[in-house]
Copies of this chain bind each other. A is one copy, B any other.
């Protein structure tokens, strides 16, 4: 049911020098599922991350933040599906740390060099014994060209694995960027309710890592919304193994710096959009663009009011140009001094509304034509400033409800 998304061809996923991935079946929640992924990073790798702002953030997220703060140099990533280890209190922290200890022992590193990630059901006890028992198999499977398998192993209600890879010239060398992500429910920013891992062999000055991961997240995962629910476990990591052999990138306003940044943002955006394309029950991919705002913040308010409105989303599902619902969402977005007579609304190239009402040239059949497409751009011009923003979302279908009513069964 995913919208214009297909299984990535393993041949298109370039290995990143310094990164190996291994998969295993640990039986975290159900037997015979690839639910455990270990990623090892060569010494000298740098990692920066951004995480959910949910105050009920999961134990592994809390631990991951701590471990990244220790400056010991991360050497491994441990990901399980089937259990989020969120809403699990002190015991959850102990169990998450226990898995780090176990993996660290195998790799002869310190537990703080392991970054743990969990995704799945909330408020269930993490079966860390099963995860620890699964580690030898995952370690035996470690290889550089295992990205496609890892993309599949981190899936929960995703219907398709999500992986993107590209190469870019930096400092006369070819640099590789490869990433994977997973959704598919509980998707909205702060941060974008998902797991995302992007690795590159580029050589990046440590001082740039955090701003790069922040900028990549803000341009991608923080601009998607499926159901407005911010997860307890959202995490996005940028990994740089420094093995490409070029001079370090120390600034982003150079040709090399901007080439690298643009490529990182491109990979991150495609991974983020893939999550929306595979949103729970999604049948349409919707781009919401808001122009003419006084600030980017108010553009985002309006864009998310549209992207979160169940009425707007069901209208997209029904291909019904009931476009007044979009105007209503603009109206309740929370901009107190908004003048409704200043708003223009477009559906792709169709001018739907102007001056507080229907555009004189708007015809229902034009709206209908666009609404039937699988990819639609909604554009709102607030006509009160020069700021813009774009977010991506999907429709709300009968299947969304069915999937979420059945998720645990």
Contacts and interface: CB of A to CB of B under 8 A. Distances in A.
B322 A401 contact: no
Contact of A332 (B53, B92, B308): B53
Interface string A234-260: 000000000000000000000000000
Contact of A89 (B55, B227, B325, B355): B355
B311 A404 contact: yes
A330 interface: yes
Interface stretch (A100-108, A196-204, A335-343): A335-343
A333 B111 CA distance: 33
Nearest to A230: B332
B358 A123 contact: yes
A335 B56 CA distance: 11
A357 B123 contact: yes
A408 B55 contact: no
Contacts of A408: 320, 322
Interface in A42-89: 53-57, 84, 86-89
Interface in A369-395: none
Contacts of A327: 56, 86-87, 122-123, 232
Counting chain A residues whose Cβ lies within 8 A of the other chain, the interface size class is: 35 or more
B56 A331 contact: yes
A331 B57 contact: yes
B90 A357 contact: yes
Q: Which of A91, A332, A406 has the most CB of B within 10 A?
A: A332
* Total identical chains: 2
Contact of A322 (B122, B311, B328, B329): B122
**Interface-central residue, A89, A397, A405, by most chain B CB under 10 Å:** A405
Interface in A276-335: 308-311, 314-315, 317-318, 320, 322-325, 327-333, 335
Contacts of A396: 310, 401
A121 B405 CA distance: 30
Interface string A171-199: 00000000000000110001000000000
Contacts of A123: 323-324, 327, 353, 357-358
A308 B338 CA distance: 24
Nearest to A91: B357
Contacts of A122: 322, 324-325, 327-328
A402 interface: yes
Given A54-B328, A320-B408, A228 B308 contact: yes
A136 interface: no
Contacts of A317: 401, 405
A330 B124 CA distance: 17
A160 to B, nearest CB: 21
Nearest to A92: B357
B357 A56 contact: no
A88 B400 contact: no
A398 interface: yes
Given A89-B355, A232-B331, 9 more contacts: A54-B328, A55-B338, A123-B323, A227-B311, A229-B311, A229-B325, A229-B332, A314-B400, A314-B405
23 contacts: A54-B328, A54-B332, A55-B333, A55-B339, A56-B328, A56-B343, A57-B340, A87-B327, A87-B340, A89-B341, A89-B358, A92-B356, A123-B353, A228-B308, A229-B309, A229-B325, A231-B328, A232-B324, A310-B310, A310-B400, A310-B404, A317-B405, A401-B401
Task: Please list the 7 inter-chain residue pairs (A to B) with the smallest Cβ-Cβ separation, ordered nearest first.
Answer: A122-B324, A89-B357, A56-B331, A123-B324, A318-B405, A230-B332, A314-B404
Interface of A: 53-57, 84, 86-92, 121-125, 185-186, 190, 227-232, 308-311, 314-315, 317-318, 320, 322-325, 327-333, 335-336, 338-341, 343, 353, 355-358, 396-398, 400-402, 404-409
